Amino acid sequence: MPAIASLEELKAVEQDLTALRNEQPAAYDAISKLLKNHRKVGYKNICKMLLGEATPEKLKGQSA
């Protein structure tokens, strides 16, 4: 399934990811491993928790 984002946006993300990998290889590897290990949770949910926008309880519609 093709991405919704434009090619320019995707290339910008790729550039930022490459820079992060070069600057912080251990952190990059840890985040990559976390995403792979919890893929079934969904990247959108993982990102919301990573950015502090949601908790597991909020994502499940329960009070925290």
Residues 37-57 pLDDT 10s: 999 999 999 999 999 999 999
Tell me, yes or no, whether 41 lies in a domain: yes
Domain of residue 36 covers: 7-59
**Strand locations in the chain (E):** none
Expressed in percent and rounded to 5, the helix, strand and coil fractions of the chain are 70, 0, 30
Determine what percent of the chain is predicted with pLDDT higher than 70: 98
Tell me, yes or no, whether 49 lies in a domain: yes
Tell me, yes or no, whether 55 lies in a domain: yes
With cut-offs at 50, 70 and 90, classify the pLDDT of residue 64: low
> CA-to-CA distance for 46 and 48, rounded, in angstroms?
5
Q: Which residue has 């993300």 as its token pair?
A: 13
Q: Note the pLDDT of residue 62.
A: 87
Tell me, yes or no, whether 22 lies in a domain: yes
Tell me, yes or no, whether 42 lies in a domain: yes
Lowest average pLDDT, out of 14-18, 46-50, 60-64, goes to 60-64
**Structural domain total, the chain:** 1
Mean pLDDT rounded to a whole number for the chain: 95
Tell me, yes or no, whether 11 lies in a domain: yes
Tell me, yes or no, whether 64 lies in a domain: no
Note the pTM of the prediction, 2 decimals: 0.78
Tell me, yes or no, whether 2 lies in a domain: no
